[in-house]
Amino acid sequence: MNILITTIFSYPHEGGLSSHITTLKKGLNSRGHSVDILSFSQLPSFKKKLLAQAPGFLLNKVKHGSGQLFNDRQRLKLLTSSIKSLKKKYDVINAQDIFATLASIESGIPTVETVHGYYSFEAVSRGAISPDSMEDLIIRDFERKAYQSVAKVVTVDHRIKDYINHLAHIEAETIKNFIDVAAFKPETTDRNETRQVFQIPLHKKMLFVPRRMTEKNGVIYPIMALPEVLKNHHDTVLVYAGTGEQQAQLEETIAKLKLTDSVLFLGSVPFEKMQNLYGASDIVLIPSVHSHGVEEATSISALEAMSSGSPVIASAVGGLKEILSDGEDGLLVEEKNIKALSQAISSLLSDPIRAAKLAEKARYKIENEYSHLAAAERFEKAYQEVLNSKTGRPNT
């Protein structure tokens, strides 16, 4: 099968969507399929800047949110044109967002959409548009049109499936997020070497936050919990891998709490180096929160950490509750609860044997339930259902 994966976002880029695409392609390739990726990154630079990025930036100066909507619409047009101009013949397209879906449908190629979140709600959450504004309502209409027009909708968790059913009256299929369990496994790298490369103190306990710095990821809360942790575990460093609009706020909070020597920002870290950082960590933190109707899906960062042999502490929200069993293969704490987070961190730092047992059980779960090979097989079946439906052949 010749498969095209499309997105209006850049690829590769920082975050779970890029990881999903990379790992899905690898899984489908292993099953004998040919997979290409078409993203905003592959479009001509002059067109991107002239037709989307620059006008969108200027429009946002006039009216908040108008630039975001214009940018998305222009990316839709550019991607539509690019798909139609492709020389290679594809059997099916797997679009990764609503605008890529609408662009892909225009090609006439059978299209499956994978839904990773709530497009309009997430735009509100990151401050790109205002809630219930004209732009918000228009984007929700684009969502509804994409879900109702595509041949098949796949979601990465059950909450998103329910959301789509409510918004567009469409019954989607759920295929939970997944990772390459062979790429993220315990003790495959030298812990000290990794710390030296990233200039992380060798003698300190490392708390790792592999998150984009956006509101829904709750990245401010580990910083706020750190002073209490340091009282009993003074040789502790909090390390962030990621960038985003909240970094300035984090830096201000660090200065206010006088934590400059205890927090380290690594910036954007390439996908292939993330496994090393998980392995160098003592605890991985996934402190997600509810934000403007947005919840964490089946977090790829959490799955990668669990697979890498690092104990995970996460907020008890969204898809995190689906993948972590509190006290068995990780710890779940109430979102935004600084005291609960600091106590959970301190408990694992004080009891490394318990932390190791949680990590061991987490790895076992990932191997058995979240392999990219099993997920690729399910996506293959979804594509085949769409193709069979088009030709009138019965599903097998």
Q: What confidence tens digit (pLDDT) does each residue in 83-133 have?
A: 999 989 999 999 999 999 999 999 999 999 999 989 988 888 888 899 999
Give the pLDDT score at 188: 56
35 Cβ contact partners less than 8 Å away, ≥ 6 residues apart: 3, 4, 5, 24, 25, 28, 29
Confidence of residue 65 (pLDDT cuts 50, 70, 90): confident
Per-residue pLDDT at 218 exceeds 90: yes
- 3 state DSSP class of 120: helix
Q: Which residues contact 393 (CB under 8 A, 6 or more apart)?
A: none
pLDDT in tens, 282-313: 999 999 998 777 777 778 899 999 999 899 99
> Rounded distance, CA 269 to CA 389, Å?
42
Residue 227 or residue 192, greater confidence? 227
Domain range list for the chain: 2-178+371-391, 191-369
Give the pLDDT confidence score for residue 331 in this predicted structure.
98
* Structure-token pair, residue 308: 């890498």
Question: 316-361: per-residue pLDDT in tens?
Answer: 998 898 899 999 999 999 999 999 999 999 999 999 999 999 999 9
pLDDT at 393: 46
The per-residue pLDDT for 357 is 97
Render pLDDT for 149-192 as a digit per residue (tens, 0 to 9): 999 999 998 889 999 999 999 999 999 889 998 888 887 568 88
Structure confidence at residue 16 (pLDDT): 82
Q: What's the rounded Cα separation, in Å, for the pair 150 and 342? A: 45
Mean pLDDT, to the nearest integer, of 356-376? Answer: 94
pLDDT band at 392 (very low <50, low <70, confident <90, very high): very low
pLDDT of residue 189: 61
pLDDT of residue 394: 47
Cα(327)–Cα(300) distance, integer angstroms: 20
| Distance, CA of 195 to CA of 299 (rounded, Å) | 25
Tell which wins on pLDDT, 59 or 139: 139
CATH number of 191-369, picked from 3.40.50.300, 3.40.50.2000, 3.40.50.410, 3.40.50.720: 3.40.50.2000
Separation CA 9–CA 76 (nearest Å): 10
Position with higher pLDDT, 189 vs 80: 80
Strand pairing partners for 332? 314
- The pTM score is 0.80
Bridge partner list, 237 = 206
What is the model's pLDDT at position 391?
Answer: 60
pLDDT tens readout for residues 13-29: 777 889 899 999 999 99
Residue 396: pLDDT over 70: no
pLDDT value at residue 350? 97
Superfamily of domain 2-178+371-391 in CATH is: Glycogen Phosphorylase B; (3.40.50.2000)
The arrangement of strands across the sheet holding 283-286 comes to 263-265, 236-240, 205-209, 283-286, 312-315, 331-333
As a residue count, the chain comes to 396
